[in-house]
Chain A
């Protein structure tokens, strides 16, 4: 993974000093609450319901063992010994003290980490596929370009105060796992007819209050121009995006208002001035960054491993875990492993300091000292030998990290919700926990098969509810918490936004509602058909009918 040189290190050190001074000025009253707000947000600090929340950047989801140990230590010393991994592949602390943030940042800087631009109206953390570099279907490893974009966007002077937040995702696979179509800019790297790396660029995607999938603005951009082309897009947005209404301020609203053709015309006009300016990426610079993502020193291993196969045959629990949590790998004899942060009945994405230490040790012992955070809020060991999977499983299981539910209904994507977030209309974690307990029977869970259930506590959609096969949105009705249910959303190449099934439900109804959706699916599915396919084939109507019929029956019994 990328290692800092003295230039990178100086920058984060100077950031710590700058933020320490900004905090001092706030605490002495020199900066008003309103003036401090954009400054603290650009350093990932929110003022939450109970305490501040600090969002720590995990660039494109990559962490070293040393960094994860440090995160565990920080959570222990400055917080309540746990952290929350977010859908932007970052880590959040829910209980730090405002006056201690500069010290936390100084600690982070010692392991080449920071909280720069993890919030605020600026270019945020670049995200990508958690299997970048190792996925068998990968065409281009997007991580070097993600790092080049990260550096370019860090304190970019022209784009320091945009109309609204700005998110960029990159991917280099045929099967998109980075949801590039729901980002302000999405980039898919591919090899063109001349076998050169090119980029397909989407713009104006996003969830939130107005969910829109991105539009293709450029089918073929040569990789050297990635930064200047982004500058053209973001400049048009910076100058013309709405600033009078924060709900209408994302680039998607501008793209929608102008239409993609007019927007493209304006971007091209801007780019005609920016193309080939010094921010054009050189072969040398890409090669310098790419060497940090060189192929790991793999052992030459056969495709099969007898002891692994024997363990799978003899141990049903291990076999179930392998089926759900172990993933294909480019390299013969290696696998990627997802450590589930979704044990049933616990807040999705949370990890205790103890668990973080365990994962860091597992990574050091079995996976070249590196790991990744997925946008589904789990942790990934990317390079595990077949013969070590059983040992990894045993240790992971002993620490509650081996729930065999990856990709299944209980692998819920969930925002922190009303328990922590001051934006939320409703709690989301207790809903996730209740649904997980409803489907706690593993055989049943596996029979239901692959299903993505996403929960957001408000329309800001941090839990990506619009692209869940089942999406749940917390809404406020006259001061009480209700939940709106939608189905048919999907991420990936054939992404779609979900449709609301009808009036919203009370919290205690939610496990039953999901159960009834599943009942329709089980009843109606053809062999091999996933939940999402059944929804796409049948539409919302039969699901709606069954869910609300049950509701009416209950009502008539009261």
Chain B
């Protein structure tokens, strides 16, 4: 069964996820200890990785943001045919895409990869895509996506969720509605409670 949720129901996934070719992780030594550097915004993608990324010639392809930006010219045809979606990781800067792409709605799908459940940057990215950059098409979360994030993801502008493979997406559905009437305005419900109802 599919583990994809789209607009409150289980859906099939027609997109092919394109990943960057794997390279060895950069490990540095600091004060005698092995430290893995994953600082916010640090670029870990090499030019070789980008040119070596294999893009399937047909069908709907979900491309790494960095690959799309670097190889944009060669992809124009497919973008026009609505065959290109974009994915980015939570530490990547959305602005690098905005700088080269005036209209995000040329992409039928944008997805954000969250490596760890506890990484809440995904919520701000969803909010920015929807409220600042005017993105209206499908916004999906994938990676370490479990049911207890869904309510917050939904409120941050996401409408599609690929639940982690070892979990039941059907059961996860109910968590989209953990709370009925939120206090604050966000992406889905823009008005705070005091502008929606009369509270005495």
Residues on A facing B (Cβ under 8 Å): 5, 7, 10-11, 14-15, 18, 22, 35, 38-39, 121, 151-152, 154-163, 227, 235, 238-244, 273, 277-279, 282, 284-285, 288
Contacts and interface: CB of A to CB of B under 8 A. Distances in A.
B200 interface: yes
B120 A160 contact: yes
12 contacts: A7-B181, A121-B120, A155-B151, A158-B120, A161-B120, A239-B124, A243-B121, A244-B39, A277-B190, A278-B185, A279-B185, A282-B194
A250 to B, nearest CB: 14
B184 A288 contact: no
The 8 closest A-B pairs by CB, nearest first: A161-B120, A157-B155, A285-B194, A157-B152, A278-B185, A151-B183, A158-B123, A160-B152
A157 B151 contact: yes
Interface residues of B, number: 46
A115 B68 CA distance: 45
Given A157-B151, A288-B200, 12 more contacts: A7-B193, A14-B178, A39-B148, A121-B120, A157-B152, A157-B154, A157-B182, A161-B119, A239-B125, A243-B40, A273-B132, A285-B194
A241 B132 CA distance: 21
B127 A158 contact: yes
Interface in B91-140: 117-121, 123-125, 127, 131-132
B183 A157 contact: no
A5 to B, nearest CB: 6
B56 interface: no
Nearest to A22: B148
B123 A14 contact: no
B37 interface: yes
Given A10-B181, A152-B183, A158 B40 contact: no
Given A7-B181, A10-B180, A157-B156, A278 B120 contact: no
B118 A121 contact: yes
Contacts of B179: 11, 14-15, 18, 155
Contacts of A273: 131-132
B47 interface: no
Given A7-B181, A158-B156, A243-B40, A288 B199 contact: yes
B26 interface: no
B25 interface: no
B33 to A, nearest CB: 12
Contacts of A156: 184, 186
B59 interface: no
Given A157-B152, A240-B40, A279 B180 contact: no
Contacts of A10: 180-181
In terms of DSSP, what is the predominant structure of the interface of chain B? loop
B195 A282 contact: yes
A38 B118 CA distance: 7
Nearest to B91: A243
B21 interface: no
A161 B123 contact: yes
A289 to B, nearest CB: 9
A156 B148 CA distance: 14
Q: Which of A11, A14, A22, A155 has the most CB of B within 10 A?
A: A155
B146 interface: yes
Nearest to A154: B183
Contacts of B125: 239
Interface in B17-42: 36-41
A11 B178 CA distance: 9
Nearest to B192: A279
Given A152-B192, A288-B200, A161 B181 contact: no
Q: Which of A14, A35, A160 has the most CB of B within 10 A?
A: A160
Interface string B67-100: 0000000000000000000000000000000000
A14 B37 CA distance: 40
B1 interface: no
Given A160-B152, A240-B41, A278 B178 contact: no
A460 to B, nearest CB: 19
Contacts of A163: 120
B191 interface: yes
Q: Which of A5, A151, A243 has the most CB of B within 10 A?
A: A243
Interface string B142-161: 00001011011111100000
B124 to A, nearest CB: 5
B152 A278 contact: no
Contacts of B183: 7, 11, 151-152, 154-155
A239 B129 CA distance: 14
B117 A38 contact: yes
Contact of B40 (A35, A241, A277, A279): A241
